[in-house]
Amino acid sequence: MTEVAERTRGLGRVPGPVAAAFLVMEGYWTWYRRNWRSSAVSSVVQPVLFLLALGFGFGSQVQPGPATGGLSYVLYLTPALLVATAVQIAAFECTYPVLGSFKWQAQYVAIAATPITARQIVAGQLTWVAVRMTSSLLVFVAVAAVLGAVTGPAILISLVVAVLGGMAIGAPVTAYSATLETEGPFAGLFRFVILPMSLLAGTFFPVDLLPVWIRPLAWLTPLWHGTELARGAAFGGLNPWAALGHLGYLAALFALGAALAVRFFRRRLAK
Amino acid sequence: MGGNGQLVHARDLAKRFGEFEAVRGIDVEVRRGEAFGFLGPNGAGKSSTMRMIGCVSPRSGGELSVLGLDPDRDGPRIRARLGVVPQLDNLDVELTVRQNLHVYGRYFGMSRAQVREKAAELLDFAQLTDRAEDEVEPLSGGMKRRLTIARSLINDPELLLLDEPTTGLDPQARHLLWDRLFRLKQSGVTLILTTHYMEEAEQLCDRLVVMDNGRIAAEGSPAELIARYSTREVLELRFPPGEEEGVEATVADLGERVEVLPDRVLLYTTDGEAALEAAHQRGVRPMSSLVRRSTLEDVFLRLTGRTLVD
Amino acid sequence: MTETMAGIAAGRPAGGPQPRGLLLRVLPTGMYAGRARMLVERSLLVNRRTWLAVVSGFCEPLFYLVAMGVGFGRLAGDLVGPGGQPISYVAFVAPALLAASAMNGAVYDATFNIFFKIKYNRIYEAVLSTPLGPIDVAIGEIAWALLRGGLYAVGFFAVMLGMGLVTSPWALLVVPAALFIAFGFAAIGMACTTFMRSWQDFDLVQLALMPMFLFSTTFFPLTVYPPAIQFGVQCFPLYHGIEVMRALSTGQVDGSILGHLAYFLVMAAVGLVVSANRLGQLLLR
């Protein structure tokens, strides 16, 4: 079967995979340039407010002790807040916008009619979320440093860890969003998964303070692994094997999520 | 003021949205028991007029009395006796079909028992009884429209306002709806409707006004309007693009009037077949030809120089 | 069918008797029909079907409470409560979360929901073609939001009782106080919503609520702030709600509580008036 010759030189080409991912991202960037203000609120202003209210405000009621590793509460909190914020961003960007790109604004459906493949769309989406996370967290770290809530430059390693942690949530959530027909389940996801996780998985206080029977649940969450890693990077003192274990867990979760996302996207776009 | 059986009386009625004049001083009278129509293209000011009569839009000028009352002062009292079928469905998608009727009836202050009884009747009237417990969203356009009409009757209105009732419906749904509306009229409900479908106006309306650009161009029954502004028959000639040059001059004297449209030439005459013969003899070779009776569309064309559907 | 048709011919409407009442005499007749409770009925019907979402809505402050009790409470020590006695951290935070839950319950229904209805559902269009006017709509929707806020607060209060965090019989007044708080937030929330034009504007709501939740002495006492800022914080509505709830839960009640409650009354009045006006402008064009 030989391809039918083109009548004249048309304008459509098939882009390579990396180029394609960047093309998808370019689409998002165009949208973002017009709408950055609203995302700035949730991804930069919010964590700063948490830092102020809970880090400094609540922290004023806490004496540095064994629970906070001898540090003041604010310093103890910041690396964990990085991870928690990354998770928030991932949760937001990979739920409503993904479903919206299938259903309401249907960008994915439009893109799928071009030579770009489902795998490339997922790559573009995830890369975009990672870029968003990184840029927002950079601003947050700068503000935190100015406020005196940062122990040292090692916080930047925590930032990288935070992005990985966020993506370990973002990829599975993207896959999940691709299977939905209505946005109803999202409310449940935020209320019964994201929120309790953010409150109880070690961000604001050590998991050891939880009752014994709940601890394993916390250990299962990517947020806990990310938090341990981020704190270890910022303060030191983390067992290398433990660090490897946390890293591996996050990487595995991300890979699994991404693979599922590609499968579900492909299925949905082929309908 | 509307004492002699006039349900709606408007004199010099006007509506402005900022700079834009949607309705520019119209006079309207609607008598009890008739089916009255506003015929005109989109943007003519029909919906604005309906909203003023329905007491949901304050008038910018002129007099208006509905059921003998002033909408500005007695809005709720008037609305209690009206039924409204809006142009775009505004059904409550968070409720079921039956619940839509119940809740709407309650807004009129009807008791729960009254509402339940009326809702059952109306579901029957609209042939929606077997969908009563369903969500509204998955219903077809025709069913949603029937539900909207059923809902508008929950309070046994004396006056029913319908804004483009069959736009977007398939022919079967449309005919079903016309049938229902006709029965309503026979049972004594006064109907006011707007439409840009001349077939609908001809079928349903006892009297109508032709509206364009916020003004009334003509008034009367469909037959009167056709007799006054058009001939009995019309000969339509279609040509391939570009080849209708000169045709107008050739056939001009074969009838009363000629209209040249983008896709055809219309010749207004009392005997279409004869005109066709004559045109052939003069060497006119159309791609296709059609002889038909005049319609309200022709009336509109005559009055405004444009077709009803742009 | 025949009797009703005969009724039509005679020109008699089938609706119920005209509503009476004081409000009806005072408010402009074009805008108010005295039937706001029909809208509450409608909201009840809708929410009966989505009861799970309604119920789960009050879980948010609950999670915070658990986290506070279990974790934060162990990190911090006892604090100085209202009236000068030491109280555990949990007992300090819980009433604040109670006030927050009343706020949350009211705000969603007064903002998000209403914006959706105005912009997309065109539901109010249908309502206003009945005898109801914009004031009915404003009152009805605010009343529902207020009920929902009250519901959340009652649920939260029950949990507090169960956790042994309530130490005074004054706490019986928590429910009416919660209704006051919810009323204020619902009215102002709806008023703000009538000015919004796109979903982006909702971020402003978040921008207002989130800092208020975090900084209105929910998690730490007012004394943490320097005096200049203390004054600013005391202007926040949630601060007043928290003060009321803390006082009632711990039994440290004095005259200032009336001042706090009056704050919410004013909020409610302003919100109601603005909402009704704006709704009229938006919908009766």
Chain C CA closest to residue A214: C70
CA B80 to chain centre: 23
d(CA A195, CA B203): 61
Which candidate, B146, B151, B209, B202, places its Cα nearest to that of B174?
B146
Task: Sort C64 into a burial class: Cβ within 10 Å, 0-12 / 13-18 / 19+.
Answer: buried
Beta-carbon separation of A58 and C214 below 8 A: no
CB pairs under 8 A between A and C: 87
Poorest-confidence range of A3-7, B53-57, B182-186, C48-52? A3-7
Beta-carbon separation of C75 and A62 below 8 A: yes
Could you write out the DSSP letters of every residue in chain C? -HHHHHHHHHT---S-PPP--HHHHHS-TTT--S-THHHHHHHHHHHHHTHHHHHHTTHHHHHHHHHIIIIIHHHB--EE-TTS-EE-HHHHHHHHHHHHHHHHHHHHHHTHHHHHIIIII-HHHHHHTSS--HHHHHHHHHHHHHHHHHHHHHHHHHHHHHTT----GGGGGHHHHHHHHHHHHHHHHHHHHTT--SGGGHHHHHHHHHHHHHHSSSSS-GGGS-HHHHHHHTTSHHHHHHHHHHHHHHT---THHHHHHHHHHHHHHHHHHHHHHHHHHHH--
% pLDDT > 70, chain B: 98
Sequence-separated (6 or more) residues with CB below 8 Å from residue A102: A108, A109, A178, A268
Chain C CA closest to residue B33: C9
| The three-state (H, E, C) secondary structure of A9-53, written as one string | CCCCCCCCHHHHHHHHHHHHHHHHHHHHHHHHHHHHHHHHHHHHH
% pLDDT > 90, chain B: 54
Find residues 206-245 of chain B whose CB sits inside 8 Å of chain C.
Answer: none
Sequence-separated (6 or more) residues with CB below 8 Å from residue A62: A68, A73, C75, C76
Beta-carbon separation of C63 and A49 below 8 A: no
Q: Do chains C and A meet with 3 or more Cβ pairs nearer than 8 Å?
A: yes
Chain C CA closest to residue A202: C71
Find residues 29-88 of chain C whose CB sits inside 8 Å of chain B.
Answer: 29-30, 32-33, 35, 38, 41-42, 45-46, 49
Which candidate, C91, C57, C95, C56, places its Cα nearest to that of C242?
C95
Beta-carbon separation of A204 and C70 below 8 A: no
Find residues 79-138 of chain C whose CB sits inside 8 Å of chain B.
Answer: 121-123, 125-133
Beta-carbon separation of C203 and A60 below 8 A: no
Sequence-separated (6 or more) residues with CB below 8 Å from residue B109: B80, C15, C16, C17, C18, C19, C35, C38, C131
User: In residues, how long is chain C?
Assistant: 285
Minimal Cα–Cα distance from C207 to chain A, Å?
7
Beta-carbon separation of C19 and B109 below 8 A: yes
Residue C4 scores a pLDDT above 50: no
B44 close to B211: Cβ distance less than 8 angstroms: yes
d(CA C258, CA C248): 12
Which candidate, B71, B78, B79, B7, places its Cα nearest to that of B36?
B7
B214: left (phi over 0), alpha (psi -120 to 50) or beta: left
Beta-carbon separation of B103 and C38 below 8 A: yes
Q: Which has more confidence, A163 or C156?
A: A163
Residue A7: band (very low, low, confident or very high) from pLDDT cuts 50, 70, 90: low
Q: What is the pLDDT of residue B210?
A: 92
List of chain A residues whose C-beta atoms are within 8 Å of the C-beta of residue C203: 37-38, 41-42
Write out the two tokens for B266: 């219309």
Chain B CA closest to residue C50: B94
- Does B92 contact chain C (CB < 8 Å)? yes
Beta-carbon separation of B74 and C46 below 8 A: no
pLDDT digits (tens, 9 = 90+) for C35-56: 888 888 888 888 877 777 677 7
Q: Where are the alpha helices (DSSP H) in B13-111?
A: 46-53, 71-79, 97-107
List of chain C residues whose C-beta atoms are within 8 Å of the C-beta of residue A206: 71
Beta bridge pairs of residue B82? B159
Residue C3 scores a pLDDT above 50: no
Residue A1: band (very low, low, confident or very high) from pLDDT cuts 50, 70, 90: low
Q: Which residue of C16, C30, C285 is in closest CB contact with B75?
A: C30
Residue B35 scores a pLDDT above 90: yes
| The three-state (H, E, C) secondary structure of A105-170, written as one string | CCHHHHHHCCCCCHHHHHHHHHHHHHHHHHHHHHHHHHHHHHHCCCCCCCHHHHHHHHHHHHHHHH
List of chain A residues whose C-beta atoms are within 8 Å of the C-beta of residue C74: 67, 205, 209
Sequence-separated (6 or more) residues with CB below 8 Å from residue C239: C216, C217, C233
Residue A140 scores a pLDDT above 90: yes
Q: Which residue of C59, C220, C224 is in closest CB contact with A191?
A: C59
Measured between its terminal Cα atoms, the distance across chain A in Å is 26
d(CA C253, CA C260): 12
Q: What is the pLDDT of residue C11?
A: 35
Radius of gyration of chain A measured on its C-alpha atoms: 21
> Where do the structural domains in chain C lie, given as residue ranges?
1-30, 31-283
C78 close to C87: Cβ distance less than 8 angstroms: yes
pLDDT digits (tens, 9 = 90+) for C162-186: 888 887 888 888 889 999 899 999 9
d(CA A107, CA A102): 7
User: In residues, how long is chain A?
Assistant: 271
User: In residues, how long is chain B?
Assistant: 310
Residue C241 scores a pLDDT above 50: yes
Residue C15: band (very low, low, confident or very high) from pLDDT cuts 50, 70, 90: very low
- What are the C-alpha distances in Å from C32 to residues A253, B55, B172, B191? 58, 13, 41, 27
d(CA C63, CA C101): 11
Residue of A38, A42, A48, A208 best to disrupt the C interface, most CBs of C under 10 A: A38
Q: How many CA atoms lie within 13 A of B297 on its CB side?
A: 18
- What are the C-alpha distances in Å from A228 to residues A82, A83, A84, A99, A140? 12, 10, 12, 32, 19
User: Which whole number is the average pLDDT over B25-42?
Assistant: 93
B119 close to C54: Cβ distance less than 8 angstroms: no
B20: left (phi over 0), alpha (psi -120 to 50) or beta: beta
Q: Could you give the angle at which helices A155-177 and A73-94 cross, rounded to 10 degrees?
A: 30
Q: Which residue of A42, A53, A195 is in closest CB contact with C60?
A: A195
List of chain A residues whose C-beta atoms are within 8 Å of the C-beta of residue C220: 53, 57-58, 60-61
Residue C207 scores a pLDDT above 70: yes
Minimal Cα–Cα distance from C102 to chain B, Å?
24
d(CA C245, CA C255): 14
Q: Work out the mean pLDDT of chain C and round it to a whole number.
A: 81
- What are the C-alpha distances in Å from C285 to residues A77, B24, C139, C191? 53, 17, 20, 18
Residue C201 scores a pLDDT above 80: no
pLDDT digits (tens, 9 = 90+) for B233-258: 999 998 887 777 778 888 888 888 88
Minimal Cα–Cα distance from A106 to chain C, Å?
18
Beta-carbon separation of B189 and C46 below 8 A: no
How many other CB atoms are found less than 10 A from the CB of residue C245?
Answer: 30
List of chain C residues whose C-beta atoms are within 8 Å of the C-beta of residue B111: 16
Residue of A199, A200, A209, A223 best to disrupt the C interface, most CBs of C under 10 A: A199
**C-side interface with A, Cβ within 8 Å?**
53, 56-57, 59-60, 63-64, 66-67, 70-72, 74-77, 79, 89, 200, 203, 206-207, 210-211, 214-215, 219-220, 224
- Does B107 contact chain C (CB < 8 Å)? yes
A174: amino acid identity, one letter:
T
User: Which whole number is the average pLDDT over A147-152?
Assistant: 88
C177 close to C249: Cβ distance less than 8 angstroms: no
User: Which whole number is the average pLDDT over A178-194?
Assistant: 85
Residue B166 scores a pLDDT above 50: yes
List of chain C residues whose C-beta atoms are within 8 Å of the C-beta of residue B76: 29-30, 32-33, 131-133
Minimal Cα–Cα distance from B99 to chain C, Å?
8
- Does C28 contact chain B (CB < 8 Å)? no
Q: What is the pLDDT of residue C9?
A: 34
Chain A CA closest to residue C52: A188
